[in-house]
Amino acid sequence: MQERKLLDYLYTLNFSVMNFKNISISSSKSIRTIYISRQKQLNALNAQTLEELSMCLGQFLEDKDVRGLIITGEGKKSFVAGADIKEFAKYSSNEGLELSEKGHKTVFDVIYNYPKPIIAAINGYCLGGGLELALACHIRIGSSNALLGLPEVSLGLIPGYGGTQRLPALIGRGRALEMILNGKPITAEQAYEWGLLNHLVDQEDLLDKAQKLAESFSNNSLLAQSHAIAAVNRGLIDPSKGQEEEIKRFGACFQTSDFKEGVGAFLEKRRPDFNNL
């Protein structure tokens, strides 16, 4: 039974590696790191990359051995330099609307509401759709060479993958509008000072820091973490419903085996062993 599970799991990983062109994946313990891999285009998000990212998120959601994800950019220069401008250059209004809607539904909202922690490890340019990708993640770690901005107005656009909503929620309306209206990127230091980055590290320490943080989360109940993410998100999206959501989910935790395990371990003075989602 265990063997079958392992084979299925390896098949899933091989399947992903074989079929993805614009993303690659590495594994360490229960954490998977997803690399956006279009280095020549500074990892700009074209439609295929978004589709692959969406498929990958779906696979890791089902995989009980995966307890957290890190999203980063391939290479040292760029996390993601935005949505692929060349791809949408000739789009009509309707096509633009559809692109934004599909992106929200299949990638950005999926990440925002993902029931397993997702950390953005930002290694350079983090612009437009790239910053929106990082904003959708639960936590952001930046390397000292990171540049973060929403340059859409310089293209005659506005942010279309959540930037107008998630940036003000994180750093406040005034700072968000300053970034959105002048379109200029801010440094990693500034982003850290404004609370856009949870942590700021040297580039060579970035993935190690992200991995260690993800592993530290993985000692806790993933089921409880998923309830916490959902309650936090509900309050941000609809402040009048946040507390109600918290109360409902707090109550739901009491009927889980993770609650029994967590409290049992405390009473028996041992480390808990959580394995449910």
> Which residues are catalytic, by number?
132, 152
Does 74 contact ligand CO8 by CB under 6 A? no
User: CB burial class (10 A; 0-12, 13-18, 19+) of residue 212?
Assistant: exposed
Cβ neighbours of residue 252 closer than 8 Å, sequence gap 6 or more: 227
Nearer Cβ to ligand CO8 (41/143): 41
- Closest residue to ligand CO8: CB criterion: 128
Which residue reads 């074209």 in tokens? Answer: 46
Which residue reads 């003000």 in tokens? Answer: 168
Does 85 contact ligand CO8 by CB under 6 A? yes
Does 160 contact ligand CO8 by CB under 6 A? yes
Nearer Cβ to ligand CO8 (96/195): 96
Does 42 contact ligand CO8 by CB under 6 A? yes
Residues 225-264 that bind ligand CO8 (CB under 6 A): none
Sign of CA dihedral 34, 38, 39, 44: negative
State which H helix or E strand residue 35 sits in: strand 31-36
User: CB burial class (10 A; 0-12, 13-18, 19+) of residue 24?
Assistant: middle
Please choose, from the candidates 277, 229, 232, the residue with its C-alpha nearest in 3D space to the C-alpha of residue 256: 277
Does 73 contact ligand CO8 by CB under 6 A? no
Candidates 56-64, 155-163, 169-177, 267-275; binding stretch for ligand CO8 (CB under 6 A) = 155-163
Give the interface with ligand CO8 as residue ranges (CB under 6 A).
Answer: 41-42, 44, 81-86, 88, 96, 99-100, 103, 125, 127-129, 151-152, 155, 157, 159-161
